[in-house]
Chains A and B, each alone.
Chain A
Amino acid sequence: MRPSRRRSEALAMTIATLLSWVGGGVGGDIVSVVLAALVFAALWALVRGLEHV
């Protein structure tokens, strides 16, 4: 088996294992991360905004 194919299979296995840990819904995880990042970015910006009140 070619090294690149072995790497691909290993990657696929890793992703499948990770998915089994979290019980699916990886798309939701992305939504969670984006949402949390947006909220904290807004709060970070608020610190700067409050300086000018």
Chain B
Amino acid sequence: MNVAGWAQIVLFLVILTALTPLFGAYMARVYGGEPIVLDRVLGPVERGFYRLLGTRAEAEQDWRGYARAVLFFSAASLAALYLILRTQSIHPLNPLNLSSGPWDLSFNTAASFVTNTNWQYYGGETTMTNFTQMAGLAVQNFASAGVGIAVLIAVVRGFARRDGSAIGNFWYDLTRTILYVLLPVCIIGSLFLVSQGVVQSFSGPDTFKTVAGGTQTLFLGPVASQEIIKELGTNGGGFYNVNASMPFENSTTFTNFVLMLSILAIPAGLTATFGRMVGSRRQGWAIYVAMTVLFVAGVAVIYAAESHSTAAMHAAGLVGGNMEGKEQRFGIGSSSLFAAVTTVASCGAVNAAMESLTALGGAIPLANISLGEVVFGGVGSGLYGMLLFVLLAVFLAGLMVGRTPEYLGKKIEAREIKLVVLGTIGVPLLVLVVTAVAVATSYGKASIFNAGPQGFTESLYAYTSQANNNGSAFAGYTGFLQPNGNNAGSLTVTFSQLLGGVSMLLGRFLPMLVALAVAGALVGKRVTPAGLGTMRTDTPVFVVLLVGTILLVALLTFVPALLLGPIVQSMTNQLF
């Protein structure tokens, strides 16, 4: 550890905290229908979309209608992306003459990008054509991020409104998210990345002479335009197999810093949007602080762990920090911060090899994901997941003091708590069941590369990451082998592809539907004025209670599994 590393972490937090109210205020205006600068340019486009969809902005839906629109749109997106993946051999922009993807890889990939997971069993530059990257994967990066944010806004309306049953119009929220939030930032961000040397080209692969005198073929493509939405939308799927550790994707320490900020900018900003929409900015800040506490704790542990050598390094007589799998350009501090940012945010982009982290350092990303991706989390999905935990914390506090729990003046009753329990333990149960299936069957074992606790951790990480829609991976776990390149002769582990695909779909939509149902249950409730006996939810005491609730649920669910993997490994002298 050094001062520069800590200074970068502090600077990151300061800038993120400064950006939060700015982004939050802007997004509150976008969803409140207030005038914004971009109206003049994008207004006609927006109205054109509504005409095309046959909807009107003021035609609002109840939670069931909203949920069905989400499912319809996502199913159609899945079908469209699957079709693109399966027919990519005949598409334009295919300089490598790549064949279409195998059916099971296509299913997994389509599920992955539609659910904002971006788990990748393939290497991007050797498997996907430029057309697939742009018209398939990047489009879903926008669409899936848009769905997450739209659902959150609908859920927040459930908390903010005081009568009726409507929580908004899905098509209106989705269109405004993509047009007014994601696109403008991505256009500016792409130009910034290109200015820093990130590749944006259709020219195909190029051969370079290396410093040592040899030659090397490097793949070029439309990288910058995909890179920015990949981070901003917390998608995470890289154009290149090595993701943001590739200089063509993440060229300098400056781009690295900006990319990390862009991962958390919207999830953090949405806490401020929430505060504004419910009429109390302090409520938004309380959630932001709870998220930040958990985030900082994770960063500190990873940085401390990676600053020490591993058992293998000891055996080799090496001292110093663990630089295995890390870019010299970024070093330990920046790699640790990136690992924490990408796993609290359900992004999954990486600038270092997660597999090469120390046992304890690797346990934190796994633990971050295991918290349910609510510490900032995915765009939209993180905050609606966190709001379920807020209701659980309010309920626990109500039990302790013997009062009817309420949040933002609305009574939290049996129906809401039943839904909250479904929403908070559904995905953890899914993770544990599919991991058990994956490690206990011969079909699942085909994907495990390493033996012992590392192999178990790879499996646990794979399904925790997929079901929680993160997308980062411990590299040893595989479902796709491409011996000849060009997708020719590729072999897949069908079991892992399908199990992962189904896990991503259920892990995405189960909490989403529950959150919408909670919004539907709350939207028509009357607001009771705060009295002397009302527990405040915008104070440090509540932040502590909320953090404790999240940790309690995660610990009770995942500690036994973590013990079998990274924790037991950190107590042994295994050389990997």
A residues bordering B, Cβ < 8 Å? 20-23, 25, 28-29, 31-32, 35-36, 39-40, 43-44, 46-48, 50-51, 53
Contacts and interface: CB of A to CB of B under 8 A. Distances in A.
B67 A21 contact: no
B165 to A, nearest CB: 12
A36 B100 contact: no
B514 A50 contact: yes
Contact of B64 (A32, A35, A47): A47
A21 B90 contact: yes
Interface string B67-83: 11001001100110010
Contacts of B104: 28, 32
A20 B422 CA distance: 45
A52 to B, nearest CB: 10
B506 A39 contact: yes
Contacts, number: 79
Contacts of B99: 23
Of the candidates A20, A25, A36, the one having the most CB atoms from chain B within 10 angstroms of its own CB is A36
Given A32-B107, A39-B506, A21 B513 contact: no
B196 interface: no
Contacts of A51: 64, 517
A22 B90 CA distance: 9
B102 A32 contact: no
A46 B515 CA distance: 13
A44 B64 CA distance: 10
A35 B107 contact: yes
B386 to A, nearest CB: 20
B415 interface: yes
B78 A47 contact: no
Contacts of A36: 75, 78-79, 82, 107, 111, 505
17 contacts: A21-B86, A22-B100, A23-B89, A23-B100, A25-B103, A28-B104, A28-B494, A32-B82, A32-B104, A35-B501, A35-B502, A36-B111, A36-B505, A39-B505, A40-B71, A40-B74, A50-B422
Nearest to B414: A53
B87 A53 contact: no
B509 interface: yes
Report, nearest first, the 8 A-B pairs whose CB atoms are least far apart: A28-B103, A50-B517, A25-B103, A32-B107, A22-B86, A23-B100, A40-B75, A21-B87
B414 to A, nearest CB: 9
Contacts of A35: 107, 498, 501-502
B25 interface: no
A47 B68 CA distance: 8
A32 B79 CA distance: 10
B419 interface: yes
Given A32-B103, A36-B107, A39-B502, A44 B68 contact: yes
Nearest to A31: B103
A46 B87 CA distance: 33
A50 B505 CA distance: 18
Given A46-B510, A50-B514, A50-B517, A22 B107 contact: no
B271 interface: no
B116 to A, nearest CB: 16
State the main secondary structure of chain A at its contact with B: helix
A21 B100 contact: yes
Interface in B146-164: none
A32 B505 CA distance: 13
A23 B102 CA distance: 7
Given A23-B99, A35-B502, A36-B107, 12 more contacts: A22-B87, A22-B100, A23-B487, A32-B82, A36-B82, A39-B506, A43-B505, A43-B510, A44-B68, A47-B71, A50-B422, A50-B514
A32 B517 CA distance: 29
A20 to B, nearest CB: 8
B140 to A, nearest CB: 15
Contacts of B100: 21-23
Nearest to A53: B418
A46 B106 CA distance: 26
Nearest to A32: B107
Contacts of A22: 86-87, 89, 100, 103
Contacts of A48: 64
A25 B104 CA distance: 9
Nearest to B108: A32
A28 B75 CA distance: 18
A31 B510 CA distance: 22
B419 A53 contact: yes
A40 B87 CA distance: 23
A22 B103 CA distance: 8
B103 A46 contact: no
A47 B67 contact: yes
Interface string B84-124: 00110110000000011111101100010000000000000
A26 B501 CA distance: 18
B509 A43 contact: yes
B422 A53 contact: yes
Nearest to A44: B71
A36 B89 CA distance: 23
A42 B415 CA distance: 21
A46 B505 CA distance: 13
Contacts of B107: 32, 35-36
